[in-house]
Structure 1
Amino acid sequence: MTAPRAVGVRLPYAAVPAAVHAWVEQELGSPVVGTVEQVGGMSPGCATRLTCADGTRAFVKAVGAELNPDTPGLFRREAAVLAHLGEHALWARMLASYDDGDWVALLIEDVEGRHPDFTDAAELEAVLDGVDRLSEVLQDRDVPSSVDLVDVAHRFRVWAESLATLAEAPEATPVPAWLRADPEGWAGVLREQAALPMPHVVHWDIRVDNLLRRPSGEVVFVDWGTAARGPAWADPLLARLERVDEPWFDASTASSPALTEAGDEVVTAFLAGFGAHLAVRSVVAVDVNLPTLNDFRIRESRRMLEAVARRTGR
């Protein structure tokens, strides 16, 4: 089975403030009698499957600024995005949200299922088909500009700057020597992409730990805290990063209409920019209560930059 690439250290539901517990039971209409903690993702807050005395089931995620100053903002964004997107079989339905100015919590439909296995050809194909359907559905749904979505164009510019300044990056930055000069001009490619219109909502965090496969086979997309405005090819590319370290990745991107339209150079520039940025962050970032995040950055950067080397014959 494919294991989640991102695994953090989470607060158990029992340690969440009593006010959040009371809100949960009020919203669900029955006392919570069973909990199952989830481990995927990097949030330091709880991520818990709940069972109530009357049999009601739900999923709760909750975090306070005391755990991490940035994560409550991600939860607020997710609540706003799900409220505006409405209901669809492709994502878990939001039941209610809580925000006392410090702690933020979401009650979400508890999806019966498990993470898909990316080593199983049929399950992987179902994920890629689901991502294509998600992209189509999101083009017909909107989130108003009042919701602070991630700006992918800005991210591309930041990645371009990371690439363009690698020569001055700390010596400890884990990037190959050949990349420090940005030999293919990938920073310029990213800046060109950043200048293009990006009118549509994208999930922007397609990883195996953010996917669930129902017993009937349908794929459900969860965790919308980094929802963004970006290009139509972004989510199809992110879904394929699970196997970016294999030649399969190159063949699969060539079979995607959205990625084919974007072009092979754009795909490689994305990998180079994202990988370089993660590498730089691994030596300069300060993380609060996220003890596994930096190892994740280093692993993901290595995987992407090795893919760049494979794709360019270096």
Structure 2
Amino acid sequence: MARRASAETTDVPADVPADVSADVPAAAGVRVDWWAVPAGVRSQVEASLGSPVETAVTQAGGFSPGVAARVRLVDGRRVFVKAVGPEPNPATPDLHRAEARITAALPATALVPSLLMSLDLEGWVVLVLEDVDGRTPAQPWRLNELQRVLAAAAELSAQLDPSPIEAPTLADRIGEDFRGWRRLAAAFEEGTDDLSWLDPWARRRLARLVDREADWATAAAGRALIHGDLRADNVLLTEDRVMVVDWPWAAVGAAWFDVVAMGPSVIMQGAPDAMSVLDRHLRARGADPEDVTTVLIALTGYFLRKSVEPPPPGLPTLRGFQRAQGEAALEWVRERTGWS
């Protein structure tokens, strides 16, 4: 009989104090233990793997309201299992299906764990991936680890430019979500939100932010395959590699987009001299400064507007994380625009 493992995480290095970044929201949702998955689904997964599960150690990072576990099988093999059912968030199974399609189609040389198999069973979607013996970057960020991740982002975008697979453009993938400033301005005009929660600098420049945001899709256009959700909790550091995980939001766009999208979380999580490091990296990659600022403005509006919506089912911590990212992004916007 398979033995249950108590839920724990190996994501945080032992030399990082437990109270580091206590005021920074964690990229962590509500996980489901492997042993809570319906027995019929677990049996089918084990049959497909050809061995029962011996231990399953839940990993804490990330927002998906499902299973994310490092699994050891009775025959000694190790795999990583992601699984989600129709509850509590009915949109998540489709995200897992998208991740399976995208990951399976990526080149074998990409810095991405291999998909070993995926199953659709009783409303549950299960992904079994290569288990990577690594950890997420330390929090707050260490400069050398941030530089490793930025170098990996550049390498990955070079591997995936032009995109080797069919995927929607960033404009099609994100759509109206990157019209956050426009929606906030409309709510203010309609009297449904007085925006008293918004930074006074942004309130005074709301019309200007709305105007600049309108050009984001043109600024973000490109031919590279973009991860679309790059953050510390979607990165694994090994001794000699950086692996990027969780690909359901992949889209085609500017090769530098992922670094801009990651930037607010890096700033929020206390990376040393974060804005300068990010700006230097983007300049070195030849990203047009005006395009970067335009995309950053749209990203900031997205985070801030989303942060005032009710939390999605099963994702109670998401809005607080988005608010913190939005506030960090706004500081970066102020720095880049120099608007008085």
TM norm structure 1: 0.87
Q: 1:208 aligns with which of 223, 232, 235?
A: 232
Residue equivalent to 2:129: 108
Question: What's the offset of the Cα at 1:33?
Answer: 0.5
Does residue 1:220 correspond to 2:254, yes or no? Answer: no
Question: What's the offset of the Cα at 1:181?
Answer: 4.9
Residue equivalent to 2:37: 16
Go from structure 1 to structure 2 and tell me whether the alpha carbon gap of 1:258 and 1:83 turns closer, same or farther (over 3 Å shift): farther
Whether the 8 Å contact between 2:170 and 2:253 is mirrored in structure 1 is no
Residue equivalent to 2:85: 64
- Give the AA of the match of 1:144: E
Question: What's the offset of the Cα at 1:85?
Answer: 1.2
Go from structure 1 to structure 2 and tell me whether the alpha carbon gap of 1:37 and 1:119 turns closer, same or farther (over 3 Å shift): same
Residue equivalent to 1:180: 203
C-alpha RMSD of the superposition: 2.8
Does residue 1:85 correspond to 2:109, yes or no? Answer: no
TM norm structure 2: 0.81
Go from structure 1 to structure 2 and tell me whether the alpha carbon gap of 1:150 and 1:32 turns closer, same or farther (over 3 Å shift): farther
Residue equivalent to 2:145: 123
Give the match's secondary structure for 2:243.
strand
- The one-character-per-residue Cα deviations of 1:148-173 (angstroms, maximum 9, x if unpaired) are 98835625753453365364361256
- Give the AA of the match of 1:203: H
Does residue 1:36 correspond to 2:62, yes or no? Answer: no
Tell me whether 274-283 or 22-31 shows the greater mean CA deviation: 274-283
Whether the 8 Å contact between 2:216 and 2:295 is mirrored in structure 1 is no
Go from structure 1 to structure 2 and tell me whether the alpha carbon gap of 1:238 and 1:225 turns closer, same or farther (over 3 Å shift): same
- The one-character-per-residue Cα deviations of 1:235-288 (angstroms, maximum 9, x if unpaired) are 12234334335643134323334764321x433333333223322222233421
Cα distance in 2 between the residues matched to 1:121 and 1:36: 29
Does residue 1:231 correspond to 2:254, yes or no? Answer: yes
Mapping of 1:90-169 within 5 angstroms?
Answer: 90-100=111-121, 102-117=123-138, 119-145=141-167, 151-152=172-173, 154=175, 157-159=178-180, 161-162=182-183, 164-165=185-186, 167-168=188-189
Cα distance in 2 between the residues matched to 1:191 and 1:79: 33
Q: 2:213 aligns with which of 190, 193, 196?
A: 190
Cα distance in 1 between the residues matched to 2:309 and 2:134: 38
Residue equivalent to 1:252: 278
Tell me whether 173-182 or 17-26 shows the greater mean CA deviation: 173-182
Cα distance in 2 between the residues matched to 1:12 and 1:33: 14
- The one-character-per-residue Cα deviations of 1:87-124 (angstroms, maximum 9, x if unpaired) are 22500000001113721110000001111236333222
- Give the AA of the match of 1:244: I
Unaligned runs of 5+ in 2: 1-15
| Sequence identity (%) | 34
- Give the AA of the match of 1:237: V
Whether the 8 Å contact between 1:254 and 1:260 is mirrored in structure 2 is no
Question: What's the offset of the Cα at 1:7?
Answer: 0.7
Whether the 8 Å contact between 1:91 and 1:221 is mirrored in structure 2 is yes
Q: 1:287 aligns with which of 312, 319, 327?
A: 312
